[in-house]
Homo-oligomer: A and B are copies of this chain.
């Protein structure tokens, strides 16, 4: 296979334009080679940085012996390109005035551009910095580049605090809710639907489950100063085999987004109690992360950024840092609600403001 040489990136250019260049390097999960090469090409010549590469994860760090070390991390992959014709959230990027459109504009080439600009320009930061540019975030957790380097280069993920540059619209979002999925099964007995009384209807048996989920009032839980709003929902349902057969099985997939005061085990207990009397199987779980804003490095960060921190509802890799013992927050340019949409975009000033805030904190 012939590799097209990656066009060189200029990390000292305007960071919004650097974002556009990064979007132009299409990098759907599994296809990160080119963008990882381009990032490595920027970092290798920088004498104030130690650089390693593992697969398509590129890491760089200062070794200045500062009292504190912080990690700035971001994933370099994106979800697939939009399939709808006329979508602007695609590749290559396009400008509409000061608004930059393209796949990854919010999630999260803007954040990656900020990381790259900081790596190139902050030669004497007041805190030692480890930069992590990682692959395979938008796919199943087992493929995560961050998970891989946590095993292969554990010392590179030791730090006092981590900032994940996921889109938060310029506010600090602390911690994250956990997530767990369950299959709730109802068994029946099949019969011909013309003689329904010979069978037991599993779909009718599922009525009670849906009623309990519908009537459930999700809690809002105060953790370390932030309010985490939970969600508990049926996300899928299937049942029945044919139009003339009483269904002998129904399965409801339930997703519980639980506050970071609970472990996945406690979340499971909660769901089992709510759905008592039914067969509940946990199929997937990821712990949340407490915001950790009481940590001095985090407090200094929040003070430097100057905006009121908010809770993060969706699961992000801050939970991975949290599990490694590193308090972490999300802070990055762009609106998370635009992530993965056909209309993905970011305002140039949002990327510039993020760079400014982090530069102030680290200088």
Contacts and interface: CB of A to CB of B under 8 A. Distances in A.
Given A234-B247, A235-B242, A236-B239, A257 B314 contact: no
Interface stretch (A24-32, A143-151, A211-219, A298-306): A211-219
Interface stretch (A40-48, A188-196, A318-326): A188-196
B250 A243 contact: no
Given A181-B243, A236-B243, A239-B237, A231 B314 contact: no
Contact of A203 (B229, B252, B315): B252
27 contacts: A179-B194, A179-B244, A192-B314, A193-B233, A194-B313, A195-B231, A196-B218, A196-B231, A196-B232, A196-B233, A197-B229, A203-B234, A203-B235, A203-B252, A207-B211, A207-B213, A207-B214, A234-B239, A235-B240, A235-B243, A236-B239, A236-B247, A237-B237, A237-B238, A238-B238, A240-B253, A243-B253
A245 interface: yes
Contacts of A194: 177, 179, 231, 257, 313-315
Contacts of A243: 181, 235-236, 253, 255, 284
A203 B242 contact: no
A222 interface: no
Contacts of A247: 234-237
Interface residues of A, number: 49
Contacts of A115: none
A244 B315 CA distance: 10
A210 interface: yes
A210 B213 contact: no
A203 B210 CA distance: 7
Interface in A200-229: 201, 203-207, 210-211, 213-214, 218, 229
A318 to B, nearest CB: 13
A129 interface: no
Contacts of A241: 236
A186 B276 CA distance: 26
A257 B257 CA distance: 42
Contacts of A314: 192, 194-195
Contacts of A195: 231, 313-314
Nearest to A191: B337
Contacts of A204: 210, 213-214, 233-234
Contacts of A214: 201, 204-205, 207
Closest 8 CB pairs of A and B: A236-B240, A207-B210, A196-B231, A194-B314, A204-B214, A203-B234, A194-B313, A237-B239
A246 interface: yes
A245 B192 CA distance: 34
Contacts of A198: 337
B203 A237 contact: yes
Contacts of A213: 203-204, 207
A257 B196 contact: yes
A257 B197 contact: no
Contacts of A255: 193, 243-244
Nearest to A316: B194
Given A204-B214, A243-B284, 4 more contacts: A195-B231, A197-B229, A207-B213, A235-B242
